Amino acid sequence: MVTNADNGKTLCVHQGTNVLVMLTTDSGGIRASGPLTQEPALVPSLVPGVEGAAYVASEPGIATIMSVLSPCGSGPGLHCMLLELYHVTIDIVP
């Protein structure tokens, strides 16, 4: 399980491991990149104030899990900027 306390860390897991992310809701939307396969069915019922996501470490490599806010305005010439609030690196080994 990955939580707010893991912010900025690099964690190591074996290929095939379930990675459950549980963050406070003020941490923004959860995103992942790299060799992680999303598994929504693994997310348990969440209590108010907690946001969750679940992944399987599908193959060896480096993955990133982050939480971002996207404070977008509206109107011509306005662009969205992502504000990264949380970041953890997952080193997936065979």
59-71 confidence digits (pLDDT tens): 999 999 998 766 6
Beta strands 61-69; 83-93: pairing state? antiparallel
Structure tokens at 31: 């995103």
Q: How many domains does the chain have?
A: 1
Q: Which residue has the higher pLDDT, 56 or 26?
A: 56
Tell whether the model's pLDDT for residue 28 goes beyond 90. no
Reported as a pLDDT band with limits 50, 70 and 90, residue 9 is very high
Reported as a pLDDT band with limits 50, 70 and 90, residue 85 is confident
The answer to whether 35 and 64 have CB atoms below 8 angstroms apart is: no
Q: Give the CATH number, domain containing residue 7.
A: 2.60.40.2020
The sheet that has 29-33: what strands, in order across it? Answer: 10-14, 83-93, 61-69, 29-33
Q: What is the pLDDT of residue 84?
A: 62
* Upper half-sphere CA count for residue 83 (Cβ side, 13 Å): 8
Tell whether the model's pLDDT for residue 37 goes beyond 60. yes
Query: Domain of 64?
Result: 2-93
Q: DSSP strand E in 15-94: where?
A: 18-24, 29-33, 36-38, 50-57, 61-69, 83-93
Tell whether the model's pLDDT for residue 11 goes beyond 80. yes
This prediction's pTM: 0.81
Q: What is the pLDDT of residue 72?
A: 61
